[in-house]
Homo-oligomer: A and B are copies of this chain.
Amino acid sequence: MLNEVISRKVTDHELGETRKRILETAALVFSEHGFAATTVRMICGRAKVNLAAVNYHFGGKESLYREAIRHARRRAYERFPVNFGLSENAGPEEQLHAFIRSFLLRTSGDERNLGFGTLVMREMVDPTSALDMMLDEGILTLLEQLAGIVRELLGNAHDRELVLICTRSIVSQCLIFLFSRSVMDRLAPEHKFDPDDLEGISNQILLFSMKAIRGIAADLHKQPDCAGVH
């Protein structure tokens, strides 16, 4: 009765309504309190299911956690794919813009993302096997995609370290809206970080990054005048 969790029948009443409700509630609660601090009772209480349902449907708290992360990620990527709203033959700068914007939207606190961004953040701070899962199933290819854009922006320079540095700096500017949300809320509580805000923020990150990359690329192609000020 427990091993059946793996190969479930899909003829359940309403396609596993209870299971789905647990999954979505779990993603939100885990994102709010973290793995250790959320209790199975919290999840079942909010999902309005019996306490034993978690172990019946998922085999335990830890399995539920991993499934909830996958579920939230699927949902967030459905809403905001990697190149969200990007035309086919766009230039590298537009590609970068689309990358930044879709990243911010995908990891934003919008409840419809089921706390995906926060779950990633928490996993980075307190890594479990779920972090390796995430690296394998998305993060790595995402980073390589960004590195490709950066490489093109740098003029296809063969300096791998320079590409790495710029990639990292861009990623960091996106991630800070995940990690310092608490500080920002305290310093400027009026900010809501709705899609309009995120649009402006992605423009700011793009501006800062493009200026930096162009400055670096200029040095790279040896144009001593017009490159740096001093």
CA A172 to CA B174, docked complex, whole Å: 8
Interface residue A78 (Cβ < 8 Å from any Cβ of B) = no
CB proximity of A142 to chain B, nearest CB, Å: 12
Q: Judging by beta carbons under 8 Å apart, are A186 and B135 in contact? A: yes
Q: Which of B140, B186, B216 contacts A131 (CB 8 A)?
A: B186
What residues on B are CB-neighbors of A209 within 8 Å? Answer: 212
Stretch at the interface among A58-66, A106-114, A162-170: A162-170
Q: How large is the interface on A (under 10, 10 to 19, 20 to 34, 35 or more residues)?
A: 35 or more
Bitwise interface map of A from 186 to 206 toward B, beta carbon under 8 Å scored 1, else 0: 110000000000000000110
CB proximity of A8 to chain B, nearest CB, Å: 32
| Nearest chain B residue, comparing its CB with the CB of A120 | B183
Q: Which of B121, B183, B216, B226 contacts A135 (CB 8 A)?
A: B183
Interface residue A148 (Cβ < 8 Å from any Cβ of B) = no
| Nearest chain B residue, comparing its CB with the CB of A34 | B126
What residues on B are CB-neighbors of A121 within 8 Å? Answer: 125, 179
Do A204 and B37 form a contact, CB below 8 Å, given A180-B175, A182-B125, A228-B214? Answer: no
| Nearest chain B residue, comparing its CB with the CB of A171 | B176
Interface residue A139 (Cβ < 8 Å from any Cβ of B) = yes
List the 3 closest pairs (A to B, CB-CB), nearest first. Answer: A211-B215, A172-B176, A212-B212
* A34-B34, A125-B182 known, 5 other contacts, Cβ within 8 Å: A124-B182, A135-B187, A210-B228, A211-B215, A212-B212
